[in-house]
Amino acid sequence: MRASGFNTQISAYSKNRPPKFHEIELLKIIKGSSDKTFSKVLDIGCAAGSFISLMSKEYPSCSYTGFDISSKLIEEAKIRLNSINANMYIADALTFEPEKKYDLIIASGVLSIFEDLKPLELWTKWLEEYGRIYIFGRFNSKDIDTIVRFRNHHQNQVKDSEWQGGLTSFSIKYVTEYLSDIGFKSKFIPFIYPEKLPITDDPVRTYSVETIDNKKLILNGANIIAEQYFLIINKK
Ligand SMILES: C[S@@+](CC[C@H](N)C(=O)[O-])C[C@H]1O[C@@H](n2cnc3c(N)ncnc32)[C@H](O)[C@@H]1O
């Protein structure tokens, strides 16, 4: 498994920003799910706590745990979430030691940092018997897995030697079979941006391009097209 801290492109996540489109959509999916009985929620790679903040408005009586490898983001999250029932930790998604099992685990934008699915298998062990994992990120509808390394020279963000990950895309086929082999069902829901995503100065940030049939291609400065999905996982 790839070592931690493999992606340090955190500038997009460190502001006390309004919820992103994928967070609003994820909350809708959770609200629409048949399982209304969850109370213990874990957000893996929670950044500055934006999703926990959003979800806690809808589900104020849940207890929330969030962790992120970035101490800066967790400091911001603690300030943002100080009035809700949330425990926030600086921790690594590969070595975090949960104090309890969770009914609902969120990992948004995190799986693409890794180069195999062992983290996902580990996270299933943190789940209560009837719990669900909600993943958001890049997946490929074609039967190809890709690993991408990049260096972002925008405003000298990295030294020459620091190759970054975070754009891994596993195929839906591989993920489905992997999860099935370890006793879990998976459901993929494509994510379509409701609005145009503008291009920004930082070339690592995602943007959209309209096609002639009014669909949107999701790109970033690596010039690789991304397909984004929500993946819902629960025990068979
Ligand atoms: C693409 S951002 C997604 C943030 C947020 N979950 C969202 O959906 O907007 C990835 C986050 O994962 C964190 N991260 C990177 N490697 C990690 C690791 N090994 N363990 C825990 N968090 C990690 C980063 O610091 C960053 O906050």
Q: Which fold has domain 11-195+227-235?
A: Rossmann fold (3.40.50)
**pTM for this structure?**
0.92
Distance (Å, rounded) from C-alpha 63 to C-alpha 84? 8
List all residues 6 or more positions away from 117 whose beta carbon is below 8 Å from its beta carbon.
111, 170, 174, 175, 178
What is the pLDDT of the chain when averaged over all its residues?
91
Q: Verify whether ligand 1 is closer than 6 Å to residue 105 (CB atom).
A: no
pLDDT at 89: 98
* pLDDT over 70 at 221, yes or no: yes
Q: Verify whether ligand 1 is closer than 6 Å to residue 8 (CB atom).
A: no
- In the reported structure, the alpha carbon of residue 28 is separated from the centroid of ligand 1 by a whole-number distance in angstroms of 21
* Beta-strand runs (E) in 36-179: 40-44, 63-68, 86-90, 102-108, 127-140, 170-171
* Sequence spans of domains, the chain: 11-195+227-235
pLDDT at 13: 63
Protein residue closest via CA to atom 4 of ligand 1: 47
Structure tokens at 110: 């995190």
User: Which CA distances in Å does 11 have to 73, 107, 115, 201?
Assistant: 10, 18, 23, 12
Q: Verify whether ligand 1 is closer than 6 Å to residue 49 (CB atom).
A: no
Of 43-52, 102-111, 140-149, 209-218, the least confident:
209-218
Q: Verify whether ligand 1 is closer than 6 Å to residue 168 (CB atom).
A: no
Average pLDDT of span 200-210: 91
pLDDT tier for residue 18 given thresholds of 50, 70 and 90? confident
Distance (Å, rounded) from C-alpha 94 to C-alpha 92? 5
pLDDT at 163: 87
